[in-house]
Amino acid sequence: MRKERLSAATWWLILCGSLVLMLSFGIRSSMGLFMQPISEANGWGRDLIGLALAIQNLAWGVIAVIAGGLADRFGTVRVVVAGAVLYALGLWLTAGVEQIWVLNSGAGLLVGAGVAGTAFGIVLPAMARAVSEAQRQWVLGIGTAAGSMGQFLLAPVAQGLIDWLGWAGALNAMALLSLTMALLAMPLAASDRGMNGMAEIASPEAFRDTLRLARGHVSYWLLTLGFFVCGFHLAFITVHMPAFLGDAGFDAKVGAWSISLIGLCNVVGAFMAGVISSRVSKRLVLIVIYAGRAVAITLFMLLPLSLTTVLAFSCVMGFLWLATVPPTSGLVATMFGTRYMATLYGVVFLSHQIGSFTGVWLGGFLYETTGSYVAVWWSGVVLSLVTVALHWPIREAPANVMRAVTPST
C-alpha cells in the first residue's frame, strides 16, 4: 500500500527535527574525545572524568522523564529551547575546567539536562505525531538516523577543533553550535496540533489513566529493563573507545573516526530498523539487534586488535547502534499511542540512561582499578544475552486491548 503524500510543512518539521537530533547527538557523542585532554591538563584519572560523563547520562535519563511530561503538557518547542540553552551553558562551563565540581556540574548535570531536552525522547514523539500511523516507523527511522549522522559528522569536526583551538576552545565553539537547536525547534510547534491541525488538549485525567495502565503492563517493563543494556553498550563505547584505542597505540584520530564510522553505519542501520520494524515484529527486531551485539563484541575481544578489526567492529556496531530506538519507541506507541509518548518513552529511556551511567562509570572505575577495559567488554556480552531473554515474552499489542482480553485467557 502506498504511503500518503506528506505536506511541505510536515517535511519541514521532519527536516528541522532531524537537524536538532543531529546536533544534539553529534555534540554529545564527541565528549569522549575530551577525556584524555582534560585528564592531561588537570592530572585527573579517567575515573573522575568518567564519573562526570556518567552523571551526564544519568541526568539525561532522569530529566528526560520530566522533560517528556512538560512537552506533553505544554508543547515541544519550549522544552527544546530550554534544552539548547542548558546544553550551551554546560559546554561553556566545561571549557578550561580546573575543578571537579565544575566538571560534574557542566559536562555532567547541565549537558545531561540539555540533551534530555533536545534528544529522542522529545523530538521523536513530535515527529511521530505529525504523520499517520502507517508512516510512523519510517519517520522514527529517519529521526534516529539523523542522530547517527550527527555522530558521523561532528566527531571528526570536534577532533579538528581540538587540534586547531585546543580542547577549551573546541568546547566553546560547540557551545555556540548547540544554541542553533533553539531556532530549529520552532517548526516542531506544529506537531502539538496533531494530524488534524487542531491543538490537542492534555487531559490530566487521561494522563493519569495512561500512567496507571503503563504501571501494570508487564511487556512495558520488560522493554524498559532491556533498554538498560542498550545504554550500557552505547555510553561505554562512546566515552571509552577513544581512550581504549589510545592505550593500544593508535593515533587519536583513529578513536575519532571509530566513533564517526559507528555513526555513519547507523544512518543505514537506524533507518532500516525503522523500515523493517514497520513490516515485522518489533520485538523480533530487538532480539536480533541485541544478539548481534553479543557476537560483535565477542569477536572484537577474541581477534587480534588491528586497524582492520577496529574498523570492522565500528561498522558492525554502527549498524546495530541506535537501531534499537525505532522498534523500542514504536513498541511504546503501539502499547499506549502517541499522545503521552514523550512521558512513557522518557521512563523507558531512564532505564537506558541508568545503563549509560553504569557503563561509563564502570569503565573508568575498572580501568583505574585493573588497568584494563576487558572486564567491561565481556560484561556487555553477558548483558546482551540477558536482554535477548527479556524481550522474548514481550506482547506487541495495545495495552487496553490486552487488558480487555486478559480475564478470559
Rounded CA-CA distance 28/149 in Å is 13
Rounded CA-CA distance 363/169 in Å is 27
In the chain, the amino acid numbered 2 is: R
Arithmetic mean of pLDDT, 399-408: 51
Rounded CA-CA distance 342/349 in Å is 10
pLDDT at 299: 97
Rounded CA-CA distance 325/3 in Å is 22
Secondary structure (3-state) at 179: coil
Rounded CA-CA distance 24/174 in Å is 11
Write down the mean pLDDT value for the chain: 86
> In the numeric block, which cell numbers belong to residue 140?
522514527
Arithmetic mean of pLDDT, 330-356: 85
Rounded to two decimals, what is the model's pTM?
A: 0.75
Angle at 132 between CA 134 and CA 180, to 5 degrees: 115
pLDDT at 405: 43
Beta carbons of 147 and 277 less than 8 angstroms apart: no
Rounded CA-CA distance 332/340 in Å is 10
User: What DSSP character marks residue 87?
Assistant: H
* Spatial CA neighbour of 60 closest among 19, 22, 111: 111
* Spatial CA neighbour of 70 closest among 57, 83, 59: 83
Beta carbons of 215 and 383 less than 8 angstroms apart: no
pLDDT at 199: 47
pLDDT at 168: 93
Residue 401's pLDDT band, with cuts at 50, 70 and 90, is: low
Among 97-106, 126-135, 322-331, which is the least confidently predicted range?
126-135
224-249 pLDDT tens trace: 999 999 999 988 998 888 889 988 88
pLDDT at 386: 96
150-207 pLDDT tens trace: 878 888 889 899 999 999 999 999 999 999 999 999 998 877 655 444 445 455 666 6
pLDDT of 3 over the 80 cut: no
User: What DSSP character marks residue 304?
Assistant: P
235-286 pLDDT tens trace: 899 888 888 998 888 887 888 888 888 888 988 888 899 889 888 999 999 9
User: What DSSP character marks residue 99?
Assistant: S
Burial of 194 (0-12, 13-18, 19+ CB in 10 A): middle
SS (H, E, C) 1-23: CCCCCCCHHHHHHHHHHHHHHHH
pLDDT at 251: 86
Arithmetic mean of pLDDT, 367-381: 91
The DSSP line for 182-201 is: HHHTGGGGGGGGTTTTSPPP
17-60 pLDDT tens trace: 999 999 998 998 888 788 888 888 888 887 788 788 888 888 98
pLDDT of 406 over the 50 cut: no
Highest mean pLDDT among 117-126, 129-138, 361-370, 383-392: 383-392
pLDDT at 404: 44
Angle at 283 between CA 392 and CA 4, to 5 degrees: 165
pLDDT of 2 over the 60 cut: no
Rounded CA-CA distance 59/51 in Å is 12
User: What DSSP character marks residue 34?
Assistant: G
